[in-house]
Chains A and B, each alone.
Chain A
Amino acid sequence: MLRAASPRGRLPARAAGALPGISARWAVAAALFLLVSVLLGLAIGPVGLGTGRVAREVLSHVPFLGVSSPLSETEDAILWELRAPRVVLGLLVGAMLAAAGASYQGVFRNPLADPYLLGAAAGAGLGATLVIAYELGGAAGRDLRPVAAFLGAMGGVTAAYVLGRSVGGGRSTATLILAGVTVAAFLTALQTFVQQHRTDTVQEVYSWILGQLETSGWGDVVVMLPYVAVSSVVLLWHRRLLDVLAVGDDEAASLGVPVARVRLIVVAAATLGTAAAVALSGLIAFVGIIVPHAIRLLAGTSYRIVLPLSFVVGGGFLVLADLLARTVIAPAELPIGVVTAFFGAPFFAVILRTTRTVGP
C-alpha cells in the first residue's frame, strides 16, 4: 500500500511526547513587551522619572538585592499613588478585553466576535448613560457608574442569550450572534435617546464612552481584581475545550464535550470580565480583536497559545495605548479608545499583510 516516503527531516527536533505549546521565542517576546510597556508607563508623564530610575526603585523593594531607591519623596508618591494604579488598571483592562475577545471568537467560531458583540457594551453604555444623564445617585454618582455599567452589560448578554436560546435552542452560534446584534441595536437606540434627551450631559457621556483610565488610585484596581481573577481562571481552564469547539458543535459533542454548557460557562466568564473592564474604563474598542488575531498570525492558532498570550500582550498593549493617550496632546488627554483604534488598526494591517491568512 501507500507507504509514506521517508519522513526523516520532517519531524521537528522537539520532544516527541508533547504537543507544541508557546514557543520560547514568543514567550520571551511577550514577556519583554509587557516589561517594557510597564516601565515606560511608569516612567513617562508630566514629571519624567526615567526608566532606569523606575527600575531601580522597583528593585529596591526586593529584599536582599541591596538596591537603594533613587527617587525623592514626591517622585515616590507620583510613581506609587498616581502612575502605578493607572498602569495596573491598564494591564487588567487590556488583559481582560483581549482574553475575552479570544474566548468569544473561539466559542462562536467567528473571527469578528468580540466583547461588544453580545450586547455587553451596549448594555454597559446604557447603564452608565442613565446614571450620568439623570444624575442618579447624586454626589455618589461617580461610584454608581461602574455598578450601572456592570448591570447593563450582564443584562444585555442575558437578554441576547435568552433570545438566542428561545429561537435556536442554544445550539446554533449564528442565532446567538444575531440575537446579540439585535439586543445591542435596541440598547444603543435607547442609549442615544437618553443621551440626546439630556443635552447638558452629552460631553460627559461621550468621554466615558470613548474610554479613559483615569483612576481614583488603587480603589478601582481593588474593585476590578476579583472579577478579573475569576474570569481569567475560568477562561484559561477552558482553553483546550475551545480548541475542541473548533471542529464545530456536532463533532465536539461526538467527542464527548457538553457543548451548550461549555459555551454558557465561557460566555459568562468572558462577559463578567468584560463588564468589569467596561464599567471602570469605558468602551475601549479593538483590543479584543487585534490582540488575539495578532497572536494567531505570529505565534500559533491553538487556544493553548492564544489565551495565555492574549492576557500578557493585551495588558501591555493597553498600557502603551494609555501612555500615548495621556502624552500626545498633554496636558489634555485623548480618549484611549481613539488611540487603540488609531494605532491598532495600521499595526494590525501590517501584520495581516506580512503573514498568511488565519481563521479563529
Chain B
Amino acid sequence: MTALAVERLGVDLDGVRVVDGVTLDLERGGWLGLIGPNGAGKTTLLRAVARLVPYDGSIVLDGDEVASLRRREVARRVAVVPQIPVIPPDASVLEYVVLGRTPHLGYAGSPGPGDVTTARSALARLDAAHLADRRLGSLSGGERQRAVLARAVAQDAELLLLDEPTSALDVGAQQQVLELVASLRADRGLTVLSAMHDLTHAGQYADRLVLMDGGREAASGRPHEVLTEELVARHYGAEVRVLSDAEAGIAVVPLRPRVKAEETVS
C-alpha cells in the first residue's frame, strides 16, 4: 500500500525552481533514500512533504493531499528529523522528547502522564532511557541524535523524514543511529524517507534510491541500479569505485583523482 505519492512536485524558493517535476512513491514500511549533490533539492523536497514550504504538483499522504491537511494533522502523520536540530541546551532530554507529543495536544494543551509515558518509552526504545534527566547541552553528538530521534518516535507518526541524520556523527554513532532507524522500521512499521550524503550508507540501508540533481530526478531504482560509477561521476563529479559484496552489501569508495595523486608523490 502506498504511504506517500509525490507527483510532478515543484517548489520555488525566492524565484528559483529548487525542485522541478519530481515524481516518486513510497510503500508503507519502505525506506527511500534521496541522494544527490549539494543543492540538488533533497532537503526542500522533505520540507514540502512536511508542509513546511508551498509547492505545486501533488503530495498525497495516505490518500490525502498534504496542502489540504491542517498543520497539526500533518504533524500527526509525518515526523521530521532535521539536519541540524535546534537544541535548547537547558531543557532536559525528557522535556525535549515530550515536545514530540505536541500534535496530539490541543492548541495550548499540556502533556499529561500518558504523554510522558510515551516519551519515556520512546527513549527506552532508543536505548536512551538513562538520558531522560540530562540537560540536552551536556550530551554527545550521538546521544543528542538519539534524543532527536526519540522525539520523532514520540510523535507517533507513520512517516519519518530524516535529513542527513548522521552528518555530524562519528562512524560508530552513524551506524548505531541508522541501525536504530532500521529496527524502528521493522518493529513499528515506520515508513522512512531520508536525504543521505553517505552513498555507502544510502546503499546499505535504503531499499530504493532516488538520485536528484538540479531539482530533478536523475535516476531511481534499487541501490545497485542507482549507485553506479557512471552516475556518481556524472552527477557528483566524483571518481568512485562501487564495490558489491554478498555479505557486506554495497560500498561506494572515493578514488583520488590521478593527477593530484601524482603531484603529491613528487
**A positions within 8 Å CB-CB of B:** 1-5, 7, 10-12, 16-20, 237-238, 240-241, 243-244, 246-248, 250-251, 253-258, 296, 301-302, 304, 358-359
CA–CA, A224 and B90, complex, Å:
35
Q: Specify which of B71, B113, B130 is in contact with A258 (CB 8 Å cutoff).
A: B71
Contacts of A254 in B (CB 8 A): 50, 52, 75, 78-80, 82
B98 within 8 A of A: yes
* CB nearest to B90 among chain A residues: A301
CA–CA, A253 and B74, complex, Å:
10
Pick from B103-111, B198-206, B224-232, B245-253 the stretch touching chain A. Answer: B103-111
* CB nearest to B89 among chain A residues: A359
* CB nearest to A8 among chain B residues: B130
CB <8 Å contact, A255 and B155 = yes
Contacts of A5 in B (CB 8 A): 130
* CB nearest to A300 among chain B residues: B90
Contacts of B50 in A (CB 8 A): 254
Q: Specify which of B52, B85, B91 is in contact with A301 (CB 8 Å cutoff).
A: B91
B100 within 8 A of A: yes
CA–CA, A19 and B114, complex, Å:
11
Apart from A10-B133, A247-B85, what 7 extra A-B contacts exist at CB < 8 Å? Answer: A17-B116, A19-B95, A19-B111, A240-B110, A251-B80, A251-B82, A256-B75
Shortest Cβ distance from A96 into chain B, in angstroms? 20
6 smallest CB-CB distances across A and B, nearest first, come from A256-B75, A17-B113, A256-B103, A248-B86, A256-B72, A4-B130
CA–CA, A304 and B110, complex, Å:
10
CB <8 Å contact, A246 and B129 = no
B139 within 8 A of A: no
Shortest Cβ distance from B75 into chain A, in angstroms? 3
Shortest Cβ distance from B225 into chain A, in angstroms? 31
CA–CA, A224 and B176, complex, Å:
58
Shortest Cβ distance from B104 into chain A, in angstroms? 9
Shortest Cβ distance from A308 into chain B, in angstroms? 13
CB <8 Å contact, A4 and B117 = no
CA–CA, A1 and B155, complex, Å:
24
Encoded as 1 (CB less than 8 Å from any A CB) or 0, chain B from 47 to 69 comes to 10010100000000000000000
CA–CA, A248 and B47, complex, Å:
15
B181 within 8 A of A: no
Shortest Cβ distance from A97 into chain B, in angstroms? 23
CB <8 Å contact, B71 and A257 = yes
CA–CA, A256 and B79, complex, Å:
10
CA–CA, A304 and B155, complex, Å:
21
CB <8 Å contact, B108 and A241 = yes
CA–CA, A34 and B71, complex, Å:
42
* CB nearest to A238 among chain B residues: B108
15 A-B pairs within 8 Å (CB atoms) are namely A4-B128, A12-B133, A17-B116, A240-B111, A243-B95, A246-B91, A247-B85, A247-B96, A248-B86, A250-B52, A251-B86, A254-B79, A256-B74, A302-B91, A358-B90
Contacts of A238 in B (CB 8 A): 108
B235 within 8 A of A: no
